[in-house]
Amino acid sequence: MFQVCVRAHFDAAHFIRDYDGDCSNLHGHRWDVEVCIAGKQLDQLGMLIDFKEVKQSIRKTLKLLDHGLLNNLTFFGPKGVNPTAENLAQFLFLEFKRDLVIEDKRLAWVKVFESPDTWAIFKED
Ligand SMILES: Nc1nc2c(c(=O)[nH]1)N=C([C@H](O)[C@H](O)COP(=O)(O)OP(=O)(O)OP(=O)(O)O)CN2
Ligand SMILES: [Zn+2]
């Protein structure tokens, strides 16, 4: 089994509703995002998937979030879930899964770093 992973980042603000502490105030992060695709079969070039393909898809999605307020997205709005690293990892997983054409491969996991020392991972069971 191979895994091909790409890292990208974006900057965005958020606040965590009902949080007992500073994180309920509006503040920003540089969010680092890692996306990994898994599969068994390499192509004739020896690639599971071209890094370029993955980067294009990720950059397109992250551009929509860059310099924005995550709480403004419906997913993280008043009727949605809080924009924690965990929920952001799930949100991005669903976005990438919809956008990436990966045929015989699968989206293995998405990792979201809120800081160099703190991160969350979402993957399907
Ligand atoms: N499991 C999670 N815990 C927390 C999340 C999260 O997304 N998932 N988010 C936050 C806040 O967004 C906050 O910005 C980060 O808090 P913290 O790590 O405490 O940040 P500090 O810069 O204050 O860290 P120090 O090391 O204490 O300076 C909170 N928790
Ligand atoms: Zn935060």
pLDDT tens string 101-112: 888 899 999 999
Report the first-to-last Cα separation within the chain, whole angstroms: 17
Domain boundaries, the chain: 2-122
Q: Is 125 a residue whose pLDDT tops 90?
A: no
CA distance 118 to 76: 20
CA distance 92 to 112: 9
CB-ligand 1 contact for 88 (6 Å cutoff): no
Q: Is 87 a residue whose pLDDT tops 90?
A: yes
Q: Are 86 and 122 in contact (CB under 8 A)?
A: yes
**pLDDT over 90 for what percent of the chain?**
94
Residue of the CA atom closest to atom 9 of ligand 1: 84
CATH class of 2-122: alpha beta
Mean pLDDT, residues 52-79: 96
Q: Is 72 a residue whose pLDDT tops 90?
A: yes
CB-ligand 1 contact for 49 (6 Å cutoff): no
